[in-house]
């Protein structure tokens, strides 16, 4: 027991107290164990720190490898790591259950730095020739290798030597973060009495980092109803109400929302003729979005009856604000209102629920009256 302790103490005393560090900044090169291809010395610690420009990785492979074998590489070894991440530990001449050699493996650094550390202990029972390795800088294909959602391009990624850039599909704009594609959607105004509105690209995932304002503007007298589709998917949070993406609706002095998650808001009676719909999305997420249809109703006007010898179009069971009726008469008749005569006459349902005019009457045209009185005049002349 005393002898063992002495050996351990002596080993600690003669073990090198420092590591020789070699800094390499070339785009390619070779590293070798000391005295290669001769036997490497005992009791050494060497470290090669390789650094290449940003946008590159380092490719390392071994052309020769012969280091003293030991259980789990306890004695002599070669370690490869990037920053603090250990990539490999090698020793021996061939792979075993407890030892690993690089053989034909190629090591690629995850970033632009790579370190190779070589250590030999105080004794070598045989002659070991060490190692020879080659390194080179290789361009990072960010478009292929980038898995981090925060750094990936939304639409198109274009790789070039030592870098990459993003671009967007037609109709989209590149955000100031240079990777996110947003839409310019604040000028959408709807003036038809009914229609459909969706998030951009619906039912595909909607764009990130966008603020879309949709406005429905109808004449006074109309009231707008919104109805959301059952397919409704906006990013949400289990504990906080709509902190990321949301829809807010303003209608006159009323506000609806915010809405998010997978539960559709369903039907909303706004009671207003103007509605503003704000849809906000942040810079993350992959949700499908939403679709709504809007309709409008106005004040009802009472049904009208066609005048005698006349017709009205269209015939409907009910008429609402802005509906029109066209009145016409049978042949030989014309529409009369006061001392004015018309071939056709149009009246409109107004927002107060009243028609714009009374229904005129259909009366015989003056020319028809003259033709019909002519025979009686001739008869009277003959008799006299």
pLDDT tens for 216-266 read 999 888 999 999 999 999 999 999 999 999 999 999 999 999 999 999 999
Considering the domain architecture, whether residues 93 and 33 belong to the same structural domain is answered as yes
pLDDT digits (tens, 9 = 90+) for 28-85: 999 999 999 999 999 999 999 999 998 899 999 999 999 999 999 999 999 999 988 9
Higher pLDDT, 114 or 17: 114
12 domain-assigned:
no
Considering the domain architecture, whether residues 133 and 24 belong to the same structural domain is answered as yes
Considering the domain architecture, whether residues 332 and 241 belong to the same structural domain is answered as no
CATH number of domain containing 334: 2.10.70.10
CA 202 to chain centre: 11
Contacts of 113 (CB under 8 A, 6+ apart): 49, 50, 51, 52, 58, 82, 83
Considering the domain architecture, whether residues 165 and 211 belong to the same structural domain is answered as no
**Predicted local confidence at residue 184, as pLDDT:** 80
Contact 227, 196 (CB under 8 A): no
Considering the domain architecture, whether residues 329 and 283 belong to the same structural domain is answered as no
- Measured between alpha carbons, how far is 363 from 184 in angstroms, rounded to an integer? 59
Considering the domain architecture, whether residues 352 and 245 belong to the same structural domain is answered as no
159 domain-assigned:
yes
**Predicted local confidence at residue 146, as pLDDT:** 67
Domain end residue (candidates: 298, 320, 336): 298
**Predicted local confidence at residue 15, as pLDDT:** 42
361, pLDDT greater than 80: yes
170, pLDDT greater than 50: yes
Q: How many domains does the chain have?
A: 4
15 domain-assigned:
no
172 domain-assigned:
yes
147 domain-assigned:
yes
Considering the domain architecture, whether residues 152 and 132 belong to the same structural domain is answered as no
**Predicted local confidence at residue 123, as pLDDT:** 80
CATH number of domain containing 127: 2.60.120.290
Arithmetic mean of pLDDT over the chain: 86
12, pLDDT greater than 50: no
Considering the domain architecture, whether residues 339 and 237 belong to the same structural domain is answered as no
175 domain-assigned:
yes
16, pLDDT greater than 70: no
DSSP code of 42? S
380 domain-assigned:
no
Least trusted range by pLDDT, from 81-90, 145-154, 225-234, 338-347: 145-154
Please count the other Cβ atoms lying within 10 Å of the Cβ belonging to residue 245: 26
357, pLDDT greater than 80: yes
Partners of 69 in the beta sheet? Answer: none
- Measured between alpha carbons, how far is 259 from 214 in angstroms, rounded to an integer? 15
Longest dimension (CA), the chain: 170
Considering the domain architecture, whether residues 175 and 280 belong to the same structural domain is answered as no
Share of the chain above pLDDT 90, in %: 60
Confidence class of residue 205 from pLDDT cuts 50, 70 and 90? very high
**Predicted local confidence at residue 373, as pLDDT:** 45
Peptide bond into 322 cis (omega under 30): no
Considering the domain architecture, whether residues 327 and 247 belong to the same structural domain is answered as no
293, pLDDT greater than 70: yes
366, pLDDT greater than 80: no
Considering the domain architecture, whether residues 294 and 311 belong to the same structural domain is answered as no
CA–CA distances in Å: residue 199 to residues 115, 205, 239, 286: 50, 9, 25, 13
Considering the domain architecture, whether residues 24 and 135 belong to the same structural domain is answered as yes
Confidence class of residue 383 from pLDDT cuts 50, 70 and 90? very low
8 domain-assigned:
no
> In terms of residue numbers, what domain contains 151?
141-182
- 3-class secondary-structure state, position 165: strand
Domain end residue (candidates: 275, 298, 321): 298
Least trusted range by pLDDT, from 10-14, 139-143, 257-261, 351-355: 10-14
């Amino acid at each position: 027991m005393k002898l063992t302790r002495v050996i351990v103490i002596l080993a600690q005393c003669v073990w090198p107290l420092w590591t020789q560090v070699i800094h390499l900044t070339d785009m390619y090169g070779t590293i070798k164990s000391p005295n290669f291809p001769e036997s490497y010395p005992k009791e050494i610690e060497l470290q090669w720190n390789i650094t290449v420009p940003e946008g590159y990785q380092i490719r390392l492979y071994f052309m020769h490898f012969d280091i003293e074998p030991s259980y789990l590489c306890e004695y002599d070894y070669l370690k490869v790591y990037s920053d603090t991440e250990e990539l490999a530990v090698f020793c021996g001449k061939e792979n075993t259950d407890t030892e690993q050699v690089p053989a034909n493996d190629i090591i690629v650094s995850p970033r632009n730095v790579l370190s190779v550390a070589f250590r030999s202990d105080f004794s070598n029972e045989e002659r070991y020739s060490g190692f020879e390795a080659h390194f080179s800088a290789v361009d990072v294909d960010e478009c292929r290798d980038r898995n981090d959602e925060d750094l990936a391009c939304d639409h198109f990624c274009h790789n070039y030597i030592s870098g990459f850039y993003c671009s967007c599909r037609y109709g989209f704009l590149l955000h100031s973060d240079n990777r996110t594609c947003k839409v310019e959607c604040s000028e959408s105004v709807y003036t038809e009495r009914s229609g459909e509105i969706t998030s951009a690209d619906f039912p595909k995932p909607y764009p990130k980092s966008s603020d879309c304002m949709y406005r429905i503007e109808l004449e006074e007298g109309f009231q707008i109803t919104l109805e959301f589709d059952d397919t409704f998917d906006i990013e949400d949070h289990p504990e906080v109400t709509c902190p990321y993406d949301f829809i807010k609706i303003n209608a006159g002095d009323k506000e609806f929302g915010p809405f998010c998650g997978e539960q559709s808001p369903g039907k909303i009676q706004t009671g207003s003729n103007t509605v503003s719909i704000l849809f906000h999305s942040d810079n993350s997420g992959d949700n499908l979005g939403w679709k709504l249809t809007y309709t409008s109703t106005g004040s009802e006007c009472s049904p009208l009856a066609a005048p005698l010898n006349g017709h009205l179009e269209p015939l409907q069971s009910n008429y609402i604000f802005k509906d029109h009726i066209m009145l016409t008469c049978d042949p030989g008749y014309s529409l009369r209102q006061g001392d004015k005569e018309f071939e056709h006459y149009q009246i409109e349902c107004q927002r107060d629920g009243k028609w714009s005019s009374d229904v005129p009457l259909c009366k015989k045209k003056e020319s028809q009256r003259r033709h019909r009185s002519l025979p009686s005049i001739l008869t009277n002349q003959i008799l006299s």
